């Protein structure tokens, strides 16, 4: 089994399970609903075969940098790439006075350290480029098939900058012009640009329309930044923008009186069932069997490398016996989230699973009450199902503190929840303060976030 970046190789005989593990820890859970006391083995492993995964080794390197990312989506809300957001080290907070040259170097270093594949999930990586980054061709440390040189608005189009753009184009790199505005001094660079980014908040509609008419072409695509609502996304799309950046995809497009769509009700029923204090195993098995796609996906997950089971799990009842109640709840919630999001933006699935795993990895350290994995998943379910969080929670028997934090009310879970959001958004000062409040080191928080992201990407690739 894979847990926290460590691969555990289990013995498969039932007698080994029962003889070896007698505790009541996170993974060693009794399951008596099937007529015998079956233990889910979590701690007994062949020590010689326990090895950290590559992601774990990578994340434990000295001098680890703090990096976040923001998705860039296309008109179909598919992920085209990510802009890399950075913080230069564990103590040097990113702020308005930070040296942009140092910050850009930190981004490149972080990309190499964490691995461009993990960081951007095989999508394009938009890296902010200052004059010096361009002059020294630092972007060429990253592969041209994935990197996009995002030239900042502070870069003047002098001869050396133009020469750098020519070198990048000759090497196969894409070039983006950041925060392009009317009468922008970087107009001489437009002929080398593949993408022009326009701040939706800093420009008027008529200015955006004029920029699109002048610069948009088959060669040069327009990207709208700071798109915060579904309505703004639709407006920008109708204007002719091709790519979109902002938080619009993670916010539900609410319609007065809308209920959970009939096609999604079975997902809500399953979530409701596995959220009850006591699970009726026979009823759960019956409901899972009625949903063939969910049963199929669940068995695929449990037999995939991310789970690492030595046995092949062949049926829902077999899964219940092997996993135990707590792990079964966890994996059904995961599968339900992925299934419900099939028609939603793919980034929502990755976001929800990353949040869930991050909260789970911190649960023992912060001694929080409640199922933090479920809190992370529920944080995106309103957007997945396109209903308000309040209406969704009316249908689920969640704990008081979980309900409060998801509705933005006072809750004991608020520090962990806000730390999750700050880590995701690259809000380093806020994340630092929350980590201190929770008695966590910044290094541990950063490491847990990257472990969660890596886990989520493996999980979605197994879907």
Phi, then psi, of 211 in degrees rounded to 5: -65, -40
Both 313 and 440 in one domain: the answer is yes
In a domain, 2, yes or no: no
Q: Report the distance separating Cα 327 and Cα 307, nearest Å.
A: 11
Phi, then psi, of 110 in degrees rounded to 5: -65, -40
- Of 178-182, 437-441, 456-460, the poorest mean pLDDT is in 456-460
Residue 244: which CATH number?
3.20.20.450
In a domain, 370, yes or no: yes
What pLDDT was estimated at residue 100? Answer: 60
Question: What is the percentage of the chain residues whose pLDDT exceeds 90?
Answer: 37
What pLDDT was estimated at residue 112? Answer: 56
Both 284 and 198 in one domain: the answer is no
Any alpha helices (H) in 85-152, and if so which ranges? 100-114, 116-120, 131-135
Both 324 and 391 in one domain: the answer is yes
What pLDDT was estimated at residue 306? Answer: 61
What pLDDT was estimated at residue 46? Answer: 25
End-to-end Cα separation, the chain, in angstroms: 17
Both 238 and 193 in one domain: the answer is yes
The top-scoring range by mean pLDDT among 260-274, 322-336, 399-413 is: 399-413
Q: In which band, very low, low, confident or very high, does the pLDDT at 177 lie, cut at 50, 70 and 90?
A: very high
In a domain, 255, yes or no: no
Q: Report the distance separating Cα 60 and Cα 350, nearest Å.
A: 23
Q: Higher confidence at residue 179 or residue 284? A: 179
Both 415 and 287 in one domain: the answer is yes
* Number of domains observed in the structure of the chain: 2
The arithmetic mean of pLDDT across residues 298-317, rounded, is 74
Q: Higher confidence at residue 171 or residue 20? A: 171
Q: Tell me if 388 sits within 8 A of 460, measured CB to CB.
A: no
Q: Report the distance separating Cα 350 and Cα 305, nearest Å.
A: 18
Average pLDDT over the chain reads 76
Both 209 and 313 in one domain: the answer is no
Both 288 and 229 in one domain: the answer is no
Locate 438 and state its tokens: 């929770």
- Of 35-39, 239-243, 453-457, the poorest mean pLDDT is in 35-39
- Of 133-142, 220-229, 248-257, 306-315, the poorest mean pLDDT is in 248-257
Both 354 and 208 in one domain: the answer is no
Q: In which band, very low, low, confident or very high, does the pLDDT at 211 lie, cut at 50, 70 and 90?
A: very high
In a domain, 383, yes or no: yes
| Whether pLDDT at 30 is above 60 | no
The top-scoring range by mean pLDDT among 3-7, 101-105, 193-197, 336-340 is: 193-197
Does the global pTM surpass 0.75?
Answer: no
Query: Strand pairing partners for 87?
Result: 66
Both 341 and 228 in one domain: the answer is no
The arithmetic mean of pLDDT across residues 114-138, rounded, is 82
Q: Report the distance separating Cα 79 and Cα 237, nearest Å.
A: 15
Q: Tell me if 280 sits within 8 A of 312, measured CB to CB.
A: no
Q: How many CB atoms lie within 10 A of CB 447?
A: 17
In a domain, 20, yes or no: no
What pLDDT was estimated at residue 312? Answer: 82
SS (H, E, C) 259-295: CCCHHHHHHHHHHHHHCCCCCCHHHHHHHHHHCHHHH
Contacts of 308 (CB under 8 A, 6+ apart): 1, 2, 7, 8, 9
What pLDDT was estimated at residue 53? Answer: 33
In a domain, 319, yes or no: yes
Q: Report the distance separating Cα 157 and Cα 162, nearest Å.
A: 6
The arithmetic mean of pLDDT across residues 225-229, rounded, is 92
What is residue 310's DSSP assignment? S
What pLDDT was estimated at residue 436? Answer: 95
Q: In which band, very low, low, confident or very high, does the pLDDT at 346 lie, cut at 50, 70 and 90?
A: confident
In a domain, 98, yes or no: yes
Both 290 and 426 in one domain: the answer is yes
Both 91 and 227 in one domain: the answer is yes
What pLDDT was estimated at residue 86? Answer: 67
- Domain extent at residue 75: 65-250
What pLDDT was estimated at residue 175? Answer: 98
Both 293 and 439 in one domain: the answer is yes
- Cα 42 to Cα 279, 315, 331, 373, 409: the distances in Å are 22, 21, 16, 18, 36
In a domain, 134, yes or no: yes
Helix (H, G, I), strand (E, B) or coil at 7: strand
What pLDDT was estimated at residue 89? Answer: 28
Contacts of 416 (CB under 8 A, 6+ apart): 359, 362, 366, 368, 372, 375, 438
The arithmetic mean of pLDDT across residues 359-371, rounded, is 84
């Amino acid at each position: 089994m894979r847990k926290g970046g460590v691969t555990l190789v289990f013995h498969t005989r039932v007698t080994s399970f029962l003889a070896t593990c007698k505790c009541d820890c996170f993974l060693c859970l009794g399951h008596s609903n099937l007529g015998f006391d079956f233990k889910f083995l979590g701690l007994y492993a062949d020590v010689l075969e326990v090895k950290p995964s590559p992601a774990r080794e990578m994340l434990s390197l000295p001098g680890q940098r703090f990096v976040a990312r923001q998705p860039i989506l296309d008109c179909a809300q598919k992920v085209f790439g990510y802009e890399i957001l950075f913080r230069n080290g564990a103590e040097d907070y990113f702020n308005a006075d930070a040296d942009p040259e140092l910050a850009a170097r930190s981004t490149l270093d972080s990309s190499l350290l964490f691995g461009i594949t993990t960081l951007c999930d095989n999508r394009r990586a938009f890296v902010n480029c200052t004059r010096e980054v361009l002059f020294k061709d630092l972007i060429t440390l990253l592969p041209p098939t994935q990197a996009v040189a995002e030239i900042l608005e502070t870069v003047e189009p002098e001869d050396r900058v133009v020469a750098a753009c020519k070198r990048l184009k000759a090497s196969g790199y894409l070039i983006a012009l950041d925060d392009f505005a009317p009468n922008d001094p970087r107009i001489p660079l437009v002929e080398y640009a593949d993408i022009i980014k326009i701040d939706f908040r800093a420009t008027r509609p008529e200015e955006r329309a004029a920029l699109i008419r002048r610069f948009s072409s088959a060669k040069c695509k327009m990207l709208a930044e700071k798109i915060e609502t579904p309505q703004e996304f639709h407006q920008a799309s109708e204007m002719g923008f091709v790519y979109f950046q902002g938080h619009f995809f993670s916010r539900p497009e609410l319609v007065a009186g809308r209920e959970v769509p009939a096609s999604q009700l079975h997902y809500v029923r399953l979530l409701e069932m596995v959220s009850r204090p006591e699970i009726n195993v026979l009823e759960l098995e019956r409901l899972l069997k009625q949903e063939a796609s969910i049963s199929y996906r669940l068995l695929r997950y449990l037999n995939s490398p991310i789970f690492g089971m030595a046995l092949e799990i062949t049926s829902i009842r077999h899964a219940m016996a092997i996993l135990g109640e707590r792990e079964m709840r966890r994996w059904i919630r995961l599968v339900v989230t992925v299934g419900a999001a099939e028609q939603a933006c793919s980034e929502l699935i990755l976001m929800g699973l990353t949040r869930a795993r991050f909260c789970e990895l911190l649960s023992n350290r912060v001694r929080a009450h409640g199922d933090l994995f479920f809190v992370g998943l529920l944080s995106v379910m309103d957007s997945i199902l396109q209903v308000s969080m309040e209406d969704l929670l009316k249908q689920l028997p969640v704990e008081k503190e979980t309900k409060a934090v998801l509705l933005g009310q006072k809750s004991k879970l608020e520090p962990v929840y806000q730390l999750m959001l700050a880590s995701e958004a690259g809000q380093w000062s806020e994340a630092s303060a929350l980590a201190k409040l929770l008695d966590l080191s910044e290094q541990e928080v950063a490491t847990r976030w990257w472990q969660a992201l890596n886990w989520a990407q493996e999980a979605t690739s197994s879907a």
